[in-house]
Amino acid sequence: MAADGIRTPNPVGVRVILITSGVVACALAWGALGLGLSDLVPTSGGLSLAGRFFARAFSPAWQSEARFVPDGTPPLLEVAFEATLQTLILGAAAMSLALVLGLALGFAASSAWWSGAGPESRRGVYGMLRRSFLPFLCGASRLLIVVMRSVHELLWAVLFLAAVGLNDLAAVFALAIPYGGVLAKIFSELVDEAPRESARSLRGLGASGLQTYWFALIPRALPDMVAYGFYRFECILRSSAVLGFFGFPTLGLYIRQSFNATNYGEVWTFLYALLILVVAADAWSGAVRKRVLA
Partner 1 sequence: MVEAAGFQLEDVWVRFGAVSALERVSLEIAPGSAIGFVGPSGAGKTTLLEALNGSRPATTGTVRVGGRALRDFGRRELRETRSHIGFIHQGLDLVPNLRVSQNVIAGRLGQMGFARSLGSLLFPSREVLREVYAILERVGIPEKLFEQTDRLSGGQQQRVALARALFQKPTALLADEPVSSVDPARARDMIDLLTRVSREEGLTLCMSLHNLELARTYLPRLVGLRAGRIVFDRESTAIDDGAFESLYALRAPTDDVPHPIDRDEPIASSQPRGPGEVRLDGG
**Candidate residues 30, 133, 136, 214; the one interacting with partner 1 per rule CB under 8 A:** 214
**Candidate residues 35, 69, 169, 210; the one interacting with partner 1 per rule CB under 8 A:** 210
CB-wise, 48 or 201, nearer to partner 1? 201
CB-wise, 211 or 257, nearer to partner 1? 211
**Interacting stretch for partner 1, rule CB under 8 A, among 38-46, 50-58, 79-87, 199-207?**
199-207
Number of Cα atoms under 13 Å in the Cβ half of residue 131: 11
Report the 10 Å Cβ neighbour count for 66. 15
CB-wise, 98 or 199, nearer to partner 1? 199
**Candidate residues 162, 197, 260, 290; the one interacting with partner 1 per rule CB under 8 A:** 197
CB-wise, 175 or 221, nearer to partner 1? 221
In whole angstroms, what is the distance from residue 245 CA to residue 253 CA?
Answer: 5
Residue 96 C-alpha from the chain's centroid: 13
Report the 10 Å Cβ neighbour count for 122. 12
Residue numbers 81-120 binding partner 1 by CB under 8 A: 118-120
In whole angstroms, what is the distance from residue 266 CA to residue 259 CA?
Answer: 8
In whole angstroms, what is the distance from residue 192 CA to residue 43 CA?
Answer: 53
| Residue 211 makes contact with partner 1 by CB under 8 A | yes
| Residue 220 makes contact with partner 1 by CB under 8 A | yes
| Residue 136 makes contact with partner 1 by CB under 8 A | no
**Interacting stretch for partner 1, rule CB under 8 A, among 2-10, 166-174, 205-213, 240-248?**
205-213
What is the DSSP secondary structure assignment for residue 216, as one 8-state letter? I
**Candidate residues 111, 121, 257, 285; the one interacting with partner 1 per rule CB under 8 A:** 121
- Angle of CA points 181, 211, 132, to nearest 5°: 65
| Residue 206 makes contact with partner 1 by CB under 8 A | yes
Residue numbers 32-51 binding partner 1 by CB under 8 A: none
| Residue 202 makes contact with partner 1 by CB under 8 A | yes
What is the DSSP secondary structure assignment for residue 231, as one 8-state letter? H
| Residue 219 makes contact with partner 1 by CB under 8 A | yes
Q: What is the DSSP string of 29-96?
A: HHHHHT--GGGGS--HHHHHHHHHHHHGGGS--SS---SS--TTPPPHHHHHHHHHHHHHHHHHHHHH
Q: How big is the chain, counted in residues?
A: 294
Question: Dihedral angle at the C-alpha atoms of 183, 186, 189, 191, nearest 10 degrees?
Answer: -60
| Residue 205 makes contact with partner 1 by CB under 8 A | yes
CB-wise, 143 or 210, nearer to partner 1? 210
Q: What is the b/e burial string over 72-84, where b = at least 16 CB atoms within 10 angstroms of the residue's CB?
A: eeeebeebbeebb
CB-wise, 77 or 207, nearer to partner 1? 207
- Residues near partner 1, by CB under 8 A: 118-121, 123-124, 126, 197-198, 200-208, 210-211, 214-216, 219-220, 222-223, 293
